[in-house]
Amino acid sequence: MTFLWRRRKCGRGGKRDKAIKPINSKNELTIPTHFRCPISLDLMKDPVSLSTGITYDRESIEKWIDTGNVTCPVTKQILRNFDLIPNHALRKMIQEWCVDNKSYGVERIPTPRVPISPYEVSEICTRMLVATKNCEELVKKIKNSARESERNRRCIVSNGIGSGLADMFETFACFSADKHVGLLKEILSALTWSFPLGEEGVSRLKSTVSLRCMTWFMNGEDLFAKQNAIFVLKDMIYEDQSCLDGLAQIEGIEEALFHIVKVPICPKATQACLVIIHRMMLLQEKGSIITLRFVQMGIIPLILDILVEGNKGICEKALGVLDSICNLKEGKESACDNALTVPLIVKKILRVSNTATKFSISILWKLILGENENVVIEAVQLGVFRSYWWCYKLDVVKEQRRR
């Protein structure tokens, strides 16, 4: 088997280096078999050995194990453990081979860093719980380790770093957010990839102190901190719906969310913001009050602008918000007053997603039930019943396939 590394051409006119002779007539370089990973068949960059004695590239064997396999890919033996032992001797041989064949375009593989271990993560978590100084450096160390590889990030998250970060965030938010701005920003940045946090971690972040601190960042000038606060809040809601009750009681949260939709930071932040707004509007006790506040602030024109320019993901979330708004009499009246509402809603039927289509039909139905004849006439002129017909046909086809 050959690896298609062809000799580099040097000089003008594509002249080859006469001092280097081709290995074969096709001018191709053959990789020694024992340098190849048995799974990917590529040159190994970080060779590691299993308990069976077979060596693989770390990335390939980790993917094999992560998918639920418990046997050695070559010997088919059940693994006694999942320890990956670095094969330093083989790695050095591969590096020497790369250097010897540099003229053929082969780049020397870098010496891989030792992956972080669960013991190290546990030690860091313990230090975070008792640390009062150099906390920012500790958080940066965690982030740097996570950036080194996906394997490090998974190891850090699975060993409960999120709970420690949440505890640290609440602790320093209690002292004074003004005095620990840099540290709190670093923690928020790390929290964005540390979910799930677990019950204890979420309980720390959904406290009044933590929610107030995140709202303070959302109302600030730092766009990166705003974005991270939004992402953390969205992931919290997905993990524990009960945090919405506490969030609805935080002063200034509606203004912060509205401003982020009005002055977008990035599409993902806007989408996350719409998710939070939609979930808050669905609250049983305060949902109507929150919805009315957003209507009074002028969110409907912003939603319609998103439907004009936004991608499919954002449009779906925007339609969900508009559907909740139309549950209120004031919301329906405000939506009907805007000339773009009905045309845009009809246009989105069957053009975004199944969920978006359901929201669109629900919105139109609520507007029609508002006894506004102009909505009915305009919807008919725009071909809404043709869209309804196609929705009906699709439902019939799906039902037939189920049977």
pLDDT computed for residue 18 by the predictor: 35
Cβ–Cβ under 8 Å, residues 125 and 84: no
pLDDT in tens, 185-195: 999 999 999 99
pLDDT at 121: 83
Q: What is the pTM of this model?
A: 0.74
Residue length of the chain: 403
Task: Work out the widest C-alpha separation in the chain, in whole angstroms.
Answer: 88
The model's pLDDT over 81-112, given as tens digits with 9 standing for 90+, comes to 988 899 999 999 999 999 999 888 888 888 88
User: Buried (b) or exposed (e) across 165-194, using 16+ Cβ within 10 A?
Assistant: bbbbbbbbbeeebeebbebbbbbbbbbebb
199, HSE (Cβ side, Cα atoms, 13 Å): 0
Q: What per-residue confidence (pLDDT) applies to 8?
A: 41
**Encoded amino acid at 72, one letter:** C
User: Distance between CA 399 and CA 403 in Å, rounded?
Assistant: 6
Q: Which pLDDT value is given to residue 373?
A: 57
Angle, helices 341-348 vs 299-309, to 10°: value is 40
Q: What is the pLDDT of residue 6?
A: 42
- Residue from 337, 339, 349, 331 nearest 288 by CA: 331
176-184 CB contacts, 8 Å cutoff, 24+ apart: 177/213, 177/216, 182/136, 183/135, 183/136, 183/139, 184/213, 184/217
pLDDT at 286: 87
pLDDT at position 348 is 84
The 10 Å CB-count burial string (b at 16+, else e) for 337-351 is eeeebbebbbbbbbe
β-bridge partners, 147: none
E strands, 184-254, are none
Residue 194 carries which side chain, given as an amino acid letter?
S
Q: Residue 383 has what pLDDT?
A: 59
* pLDDT attached to residue 7: 41
> Quick check: 209 and 170 in contact, CB under 8 A?
yes
Binned average pLDDT, 10 residues per bin, the chain of 403 residues:
42 39 56 94 94 93 91 94 91 93 88 81 76 78 87 87 91 83 93 92 94 94 95 95 92 95 94 96 89 95 93 94 93 89 84 88 80 59 54 47 56
CA Rg value for the chain: 29
Model pLDDT, residue 204: 93
Residue 283: C-alpha distances to residues 5, 37, 152 (Å)? 61, 54, 38
